[in-house]
């Protein structure tokens, strides 16, 4: 099962490597990992997407909690939540493909944020399946480059992860 784990962690040097090291040392899988400081600069928030059985996810949560710098850990996917990721795609946009690319980007509510005579950069926000759907919808041979931030997520309504 795919899980989205959110971590509040002290914004100390090496915090990221403690988390990354834990995953590699114990053989856990990381689909994506994002991290940045929160509104409180002493805290970082990390979002990790991992795939594993319930037992493994339970161990991951416990092991993350065991790290001395970890303040809180929540498995967002246990309840209602929102997840988003940002993707930038550089595509070839010439001739008839130029118009088609604009059209598809519009359908996916993407924005074209860089334009040259022969390329576009499309910015797309959404959940992972939307990213995949967009890439499937355009001609693969036109894709020059893609970059994704990985998932970040937040609980719905009263579910708040805060110190």
Partner 1 sequence: MQLTGAEIVIRCLQEEKVEHVFGYPGGSVLFIYDELFKQDQIKHILVRHEQAAVHAADAYSRSSNKIGVCLVTSGPGVTNAVTGIATAYMDSIPLVVISGQVPTAYIGQDAFQEVDTVGITRPCVKHNFLVKDVADLAVTIKKAFYLAQTGRPGPVLVDIPKDISAKKCEFHYPKTISMRSYNPVVKGHTGQIKKALQLLLDAKRPMIYAGGGVILSDAANKLTKLTRLLGFPITQTLMGLGGYPATDRQFLGMLGMHGTYEANMAMQECDVLLAIGARFDDRVIGNPEHFAKVSRKIIHVDIDPSSISKRVRVDVPIVGNVPDVLDELIKQIESSEAKPEAMVETKALAVWWKQIEAWRGKDSLKYKMGSDLIMPQYVVEKLYEVTGGDAFVTSDVGQHQMWAAQYYKFDKPRRWINSGGLGTMGFGLPAAMGVRFANPKATVACITGEGSIQMNIQELSTCKQFHLPVKILCLNNGYLGMVRQWQQMFHGNRYAESYVDALPDFVKLAEAYGHVGMYIDKPADVEPAIREAFVKHKNELVFLDFQTDKTANVFPMIAAGKGLSEMILAEEL
Beta carbon of residue 61, minimum distance to partner 1 (angstroms, whole number) = 9
151 contact partners, CB below 8 Å, separation of at least 6? 4, 31, 32, 34, 47, 49, 83, 84, 85, 127, 128
Q: Which residues in this chain contact partner 1 in the complex, by CB under 8 A?
A: 9-10, 13-14, 17-18, 21, 25, 55, 58-59, 62-63, 65-66, 68-71, 163
Beta carbon of residue 10, minimum distance to partner 1 (angstroms, whole number) = 6
Beta carbon of residue 69, minimum distance to partner 1 (angstroms, whole number) = 6
Q: Report the residue number, 13 or 158, with the smaller CB distance to partner 1.
A: 13
Q: Report the residue number, 22 or 88, with the smaller CB distance to partner 1.
A: 22
Beta carbon of residue 76, minimum distance to partner 1 (angstroms, whole number) = 20
Dihedral angle, C-alpha 61, 65, 66, 70, nearest 10 °: 140
Longest dimension (CA), the chain: 57
Q: Report the residue number, 69 or 123, with the smaller CB distance to partner 1.
A: 69
Which helix (H) or strand (E) segment holds residue 84: the answer is strand 81-92
Neighbours of 121 (CB within 10 A): 19
């Amino acid at each position: 099962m795919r899980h989205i784990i959110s971590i509040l962690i002290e914004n100390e040097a090496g915090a990221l490597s403690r988390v990354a090291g834990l995953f590699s040392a114990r053989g856990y899988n990381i689909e994506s990992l994002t991290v940045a400081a929160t509104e409180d600069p002493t805290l970082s928030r990390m979002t990790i997407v991992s795939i594993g059985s319930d037992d493994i996810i339970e161990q991951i949560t416990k092991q993350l909690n065991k790290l001395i710098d970890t303040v809180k850990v929540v498995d967002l996917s246990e309840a209602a939540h929102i997840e988003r990721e940002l993707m930038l795609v550089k595509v070839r946009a010439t001739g008839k493909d130029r118009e088609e690319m604009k059209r598809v980007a519009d359908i996916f509510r993407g924005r074209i944020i860089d334009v040259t005579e022969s390329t576009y950069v499309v910015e797309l926000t959404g959940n992972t399946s939307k990213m995949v759907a967009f890439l499937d919808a355009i001609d693969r041979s036109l894709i020059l480059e893609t970059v994704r931030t990985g998932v970040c997520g937040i609980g719905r309504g009263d579910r708040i992860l805060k110190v």
